[in-house]
Amino acid sequence: MSDNEPPSMDLVLNEIWGNQEKGIDTPDDKDKKIYSDKEGNIVHGTERDKAKGELSEVGQKPYEAFGLSRYEKDCKIAKRYLPDATKQYTVKAKNGEEVKGFLVRLTCRMGNQYELFMYYTGSNYQVKVVEPVNIENKWKNAHTGHLFSNSTICFGGDYESGQPTLRSAFSKSALWVNGFSWALVHGKFPFNYNQ
């Protein structure tokens, strides 16, 4: 590549898409950064030493469509990161309000199947265990089964015992179903070092 030749669009796209996939806006690795020079030319991180003048780093988060609701954004996240069989679902809360969320089926490593409803509360994401229904009361405890009496998973003290994103609620739930199944057999939840 000559000094005046811009980087390949494929190189820039692959870098940005790879960083977006990982949720990285400004990579630590200088070779994975994208820059703009003062003329607006795009410079790939591997070419920064050939650039003339000062460079400004380009943030690599995706451009968001203005006006999408949280639920519309979550639908896109669900399609990309949750199981293919995930269903959009709406339930009525006790106060009569509709709650939109996602119904997910997971099978743990021990072969046990779970059905979970993941939804946004207005400040965090909660996950309710829909199946199995008949979980013994001794496991419906925030300390033993990490499950509240209303069958909502207790993820800890942060985010009102929920999770900050749909992706984190899903991934932490995947770990929980494996830990809960283990606890049913061995009597103790395995994923807390202090338990």
pLDDT digits (tens, 9 = 90+) for 34-57: 998 877 888 888 988 888 888 999
The predicted pLDDT at position 119 comes to 96
Report the SS3 class of residue 174.
helix
Statement: residue 3 has pLDDT above 70: no
The predicted pLDDT at position 116 comes to 97
The residues that bridge with 118 in the sheet, in sequence order, are 102, 127
pLDDT digits (tens, 9 = 90+) for 86-145: 999 999 888 888 999 999 999 999 999 999 999 999 899 999 999 998 888 888 888 888
Q: Are 119 and 78 in contact, with CB atoms under 8 Å apart?
A: no
Rounded to whole angstroms, how far apart are CA atoms 86 and 100? 13
The residues that bridge with 91 in the sheet, in sequence order, are 99
When mean pLDDT is compared across 175-179, 183-187, 190-194, the lowest value belongs to 190-194
**What's the whole-model pTM score?**
0.66
- What mean pLDDT value characterizes the chain? 87
Mean pLDDT of the 169-194 span:
89
Task: Please give the sequence-ordered ranges of beta strands (E in DSSP) within 11-83, or none if there are none.
Answer: 34-37, 42-44, 55-57
CB proximity list for 76: less than 8 A, separation 6 or greater = none
Q: What percent of the chain has pLDDT over 90?
A: 47
Nearest to 170 by CA among 91, 74, 48: 74
Q: Are 20 and 60 in contact, with CB atoms under 8 Å apart?
A: yes
The predicted pLDDT at position 5 comes to 58
Mean pLDDT of the 61-80 span:
82
Mean pLDDT of the 18-25 span:
83
Task: Please give the sequence-ordered ranges of beta strands (E in DSSP) within the chain, or none if there are none.
Answer: 34-37, 42-44, 55-57, 87-92, 98-107, 113-120, 125-131
Q: What percent of the chain has pLDDT over 70?
A: 93
Q: Are 78 and 166 in contact, with CB atoms under 8 Å apart?
A: yes
The predicted pLDDT at position 19 comes to 82
